[in-house]
Amino acid sequence: MTRVINFDRSFKITVPISLVIILAGLFGALFLGVRLGVDFQAGLNTTVQFASPSMDVAYTGDGSMRLSVAKTEFDLIYQAPSGASKAYTIAFAAYPTIQSVVDALKAIPGMAVDLKADGSLPSNLLLGRSQATDATLTAAPTLLHFRPTDTSALPVSVESIRAALKSFGSVSIQRIGDPVDREYMIRIEDSGTDPNLAQTINTNLYASLGTAFGPDNVIVKSSQFVGAQFSQSLAHQAVWLTLLVFGVILLYCSFRFKPVYAFGAVLSVIHDALVLVAFIVFTRMEFNTTIIAAILTIVGYSINDTIVIYDRIREKVKLNPNAIFRENMNRGVTETLGRTFITSGTVLLASIALFIFTTGSMKDFALCIIVGVVTGTYSSVFIASAFVDFWKVVEGRHAKAKQLATAKAAAVKPVAAKTGEIGAKKAAR
């Protein structure tokens, strides 16, 4: 027979601990503030890569030439004035060195190439998929780059980028991928002082980075400006979406269980969301749409675990109607522990793997899921069940008080009747 764990004995400890964490998170958000990502505030979101020049490429022939540099090849599409087109592919497997790629490019009519790197370097170091390399070539040279394999060749760090951009005010810098790739995401907040920031910030950013690291060593891979109106709209949508999820959970649990269970379930997922907010506030993690996705994922996981526990508790109440609710609750939670640990452990393993082997927003997402799985498992037992147990205790006390009042009223009636009878006899005498 499975030993029943008396979870109710720990409610006096776990509930205050949760309240302290939640209140600390709310005060932290009030006084320390939340590091909002560019999704929720006006600003620029730019991905840059630092690399060395490999060659200048130009096209001086008739028609037009479109260049696209992938990880494994150069793709060029020639469009003649008559409308005819021709494609050229220079695969790095067939041209293993940068010099051989340059020779292949020169063999294409109208192409002019100026080698700027060591031609013996492997061609698979050539970089593409940027604003510069995916473009229509003209007589003006287009600079292509390669990724230096030696980390000392082009030293770049978050600290050196922040120093180069100190005049921009609030700047968030995050490394993407392997350190040797030297790829970073830069987020600059719009303070509202420059009405033409969307037009000037890119130019100023490129100039500042070029001054610090050399203009030929900076590749702007993508750039996105988020306006104040859009960021506010996105923040409002995120709030309403979260509230809608809580409302749907409340309705679903009300139909499937009693309303008290529904309120306990909603309370537990609100607990999970607020604990995660406290974690984000004190770790100074950036709050963006990825975090919203993590919160909603955690809410879904937590409510699933809560419903399984509630279902088992309801089953125990039906099988043992004469037992007090607390006994059925402890037995139901105990019997679901195996399922809970297996499910939580599986999710944790996947999340830990994501946290270790990814970077950027995916790493933050994985970390939030790890925290959420722990808090979701905890809240299903110590918050959702504790609320229902508390409600049942209060309900029982009210029932006893009502019974006591009824009993007293019933006892008073015979006494009053007897007193009236004695009074009537005295009056008759």
Report the number of distinct structural domains present in the chain: 2
Percentage of the chain lying above the pLDDT 70 cut? 85
Distance spanning both ends of the chain, measured CA to CA: 75
159-184, pLDDT tens digit by residue?
Answer: 888 888 888 777 778 888 777 888 88
Q: What is the pLDDT of residue 104?
A: 93
Q: What is the pLDDT of residue 409?
A: 72
Q: What is the pLDDT of residue 425?
A: 57
pTM more than 0.85: no
Q: Which of 37-46, 148-157, 356-365 has the lowest mean pLDDT?
A: 37-46
- Looking at the fold, whether 194 and 335 belong to one and the same domain comes out as no
Q: Which of 165-174, 194-203, 252-261, 393-402 has the lowest mean pLDDT?
A: 194-203
Of 166, 198, 226, the residue that ends a domain is 226
Reported in sequence order, the residue ranges of 129-231 that DSSP labels E, i.e. its strands, are 135-137, 142-146, 171-176, 183-189, 218-226
Rounded Cα distance between 21 and 411, Å, is 50
191-206, pLDDT tens digit by residue?
Answer: 555 666 666 777 788 8
Closest CA to 161 of 100, 117, 105, 217: 217
294-343, pLDDT tens digit by residue?
Answer: 888 888 888 888 888 888 888 888 888 888 888 888 888 888 888 888 88
pLDDT confidence band for 359 (50 / 70 / 90): confident
DSSP one-letter string for 407-429 = HHHHHHHHHHHHHHHHHHHHHH-
Q: What is the pLDDT of residue 230?
A: 46
Q: Is residue 385 part of a domain?
A: yes
**Which spans in 107-169 are helix H?**
158-164
Q: What are phi and psi of 206, to 5 degrees?
A: -65, -40
Q: Is residue 420 part of a domain?
A: no
Q: Is residue 63 part of a domain?
A: yes
- Looking at the fold, whether 97 and 205 belong to one and the same domain comes out as yes
Instruction: Please give the residue that has the higher pLDDT: either 93 or 36.
Output: 93
- Looking at the fold, whether 25 and 50 belong to one and the same domain comes out as no
CATH number at residue 399: 1.20.1640.10
Closest CA to 305 of 233, 357, 383: 383
- Looking at the fold, whether 234 and 328 belong to one and the same domain comes out as yes
Q: What is the pLDDT of residue 42?
A: 64
- Looking at the fold, whether 47 and 185 belong to one and the same domain comes out as yes
Residue 351 three-state SS: helix
Q: Is residue 410 part of a domain?
A: no
Q: Which domain holds residue 142?
A: 43-226
2-34, pLDDT tens digit by residue?
Answer: 677 887 788 888 888 989 999 998 898 888 877
- Looking at the fold, whether 218 and 305 belong to one and the same domain comes out as no
DSSP one-letter string for 309-323 = HHHHHHHHHHH-TTS
- Looking at the fold, whether 162 and 264 belong to one and the same domain comes out as no
Residue 361 has pLDDT above 70, yes or no: yes
pLDDT confidence band for 86 (50 / 70 / 90): very high
Residue 420 has pLDDT above 80, yes or no: no
Round the average pLDDT of the chain to a whole number and report it.
81
- Looking at the fold, whether 18 and 49 belong to one and the same domain comes out as no
Whether residue 125 contacts residue 131, with contact meaning beta carbons closer than 8 Å, is answered with no
Q: What is the pLDDT of residue 428?
A: 55
